[in-house]
Amino acid sequence: MPSPQMTPGSRGTIIPIGGAEDKINDRRILQRFVDVSGGTDARIVVIPTASELNSTGPKYEKIFRSLGVAEVHVLDYRERADTDNPELLALLDDATGAFMTGGNQLRLSTILGGTLVARALRRRNAAGMTVAGTSAGAAFVSEHMIAHGRTGATPRAGAVSVAAGLGLTNRIIVDQHFRQRDRLGRLLTALAYNPFVLGFGLDEDTAAFIRGDRVVEIVGAGAITVVDVSELDYSGMADAREGAPVDLIGVRLHVLTDGATFDLDSRKATAPPKEPRPAE
């Protein structure tokens, strides 16, 4: 469960990113992460645990330094024993922004789950620290995490495996590379098991900036598919045999692009502001 906020509205921004965010040209999402983490005064920690590549942490360190951040540290947790390192914990406790890279989300849950690092991330986010994750890192931010599943648009019994995530929020479940990898069916399947949460399907180079007031801002080149099953009339999951398609009646779906917002409390979406028409 998320740590309680120190004061109302004090929770730091939570930023799941759909993966493949622009790292070369305008870098809008990464720049916005830096901005909400303190700008040039930000103290950023990079957590590359999901990746098995030694180059992942230094790559993001270089990117954030090029965006004007003077203090960037890579917290290279490779084994559960690494999470007890007091020097790395001190850097995390002092950070204003934490960034979890892509890779395999089960590496994040099995290495960080239940450790002092996971507790520190929840505690510091409740106190105002920004926490972002891309691809596997995005899947890990919520209480319920999609571990893996089948592609396709139709929900099917057994089509997805759900594991425990970091627990920064219990209001959403995230799927990444959404349109690019045809993942609507597995997100619907996950929601059929637990109609309490909202489903956020994030396209690549697209992020949900979940503010402390529980309003979500969409930033990026693609879209976020928000699936709301709070008014679900019927789910056939309990009676479906393994691999069979599942009936879901009463699903609401929103497709939101850059500049749109979504209120997690009221479950209301708002379209992006209209661009002024050019003068003739």
Q: Give the residue numbers annotated as catalytic, written as ranges.
A: 135, 177, 204
How do 172-175 and 198-202 pair as beta strands?
parallel
CA-to-CA distance for 45 and 99, rounded, in angstroms?
Answer: 6
CA-to-CA distance for 210 and 181, rounded, in angstroms?
Answer: 24
Which residue type occupies 252? Answer: R
CA 59 to the chain's CA centroid: 20
What are the backbone dihedrals phi and psi of residue 125, each rounded to the nearest 5 degrees, phi first?
-65, -40
Q: Indicate the helix (H) or strand (E) that contains 94.
A: helix 86-94
CA-to-CA distance for 273 and 13, rounded, in angstroms?
Answer: 22
User: What is the DSSP-derived secondary structure letter of residue 43?
Assistant: E
**Phi-psi domain of 39 (left: phi exceeds 0; alpha: psi -120 through 50; beta: other):** left
